[in-house]
Amino acid sequence: MNTQELLKKVRRIEIKTRRLSNHLFSGEYHSSFKGRGMAFSEVRKYEYGDDIRAIDWNVTARLNEPYIKVFEEERELTLMLLVDVSGSGSFGSRVQMKRDMITEICATLAFSAIQNNDKVGVIFFSDKIEQFIPPKKGKTHTLRIIRELIELQPTSPGTNITEALRYFSGIQKKHAIAFVLSDFMDTGYRDALKIMTQRHDVTGIRIYDPREEELPNLGLLPMQDLETGKTRWVNTSSKALRQELKMRFEQNFKYFRESFTRSGAGQISIRIDESYPAKLLGYFKQKSA
């Protein structure tokens, strides 16, 4: 992809996702994720019904009439996106690949965050950490993230979610909002997730394709494993094979669901032919209720 094509794609994603974040998610995002506490804002004259515990006695003594301290929610937060860029993200049997949807979701979340003056950072991972973009504010920073989401070519096709969660816990000491975006074709990450959720507000967003859920009978087909690069001929007319693939899919889904539930983290599953704005909005509303 040349520079001009890249910029056009970045612009298309920016227009679409900023519109979504402006009209749908800005308020829901704000109410779903709380600030770090209450920060002093100003003092004002005491009014009937005010809590006397909020009286600022120094100002009251100096002005010879009661004043109270006014506090407001300290809103600035850090949003971290942990993005799976392994080979399986390049699969898609419908209008787009899984990685395309992950890119749009990340852009939507990032624009929602910067509208609330929050910092946004990204960890790109495969079976290792591919790239880390430290959290910053602003539109320019968000556009850089979108460019990397589109352009980044991983050096390894495998998946290791545990490695990504441990890396995040090691670098992010202060409380953060973390979204893990992946197809979660991996297991063994439960303990790392439990440690991560002790300090951070974590949500897993699982993106999957209908053909991963159930393979149709299409006869003998060449299939490539996107994470190993190996191609082999597969007889999709075999009922036993289709059932085995479906069982693997269901086992990964069960592990994802149980791991995030037991750790107290949030979870969303989105099929690539579904509306991700509707799924995100429903999740935010449920979280803020």
pLDDT at 149: 92
Structure tokens at 223: 């299939």
Please answer whether residues 204 and 81 qualify as being in contact, where contact means their C-beta atoms are separated by less than 8 angstroms.
no
Q: Rounded distance, CA 110 to CA 121, Å?
A: 9
Q: Which domains can be identified in the chain, with CATH numbers?
A: 3-32+76-288 (3.40.50.410), 38-73 (no CATH)
pLDDT at 205: 97
pLDDT at 75: 54
pLDDT at 168: 97
* Cα–Cα separations (whole angstroms), residue 279 to 54, 61, 105, 200: 41, 54, 11, 22
pLDDT at 255: 97
Q: What is the pLDDT along the chain (289 residues), one digit of tens a residue?
A: 566 776 777 878 888 787 778 766 666 776 677 555 555 557 888 887 787 888 889 988 989 999 888 765 555 789 999 999 998 887 766 678 899 999 999 999 999 888 888 899 999 999 999 999 999 998 899 999 999 998 999 999 889 999 999 999 999 988 899 999 999 999 999 999 999 999 999 999 999 988 887 777 676 666 666 566 677 777 777 777 778 888 888 999 999 999 999 999 999 999 999 999 999 988 988 887 6
pLDDT at 40: 55
Q: What is the pTM of this model?
A: 0.79
pLDDT at 87: 87
pLDDT at 35: 54
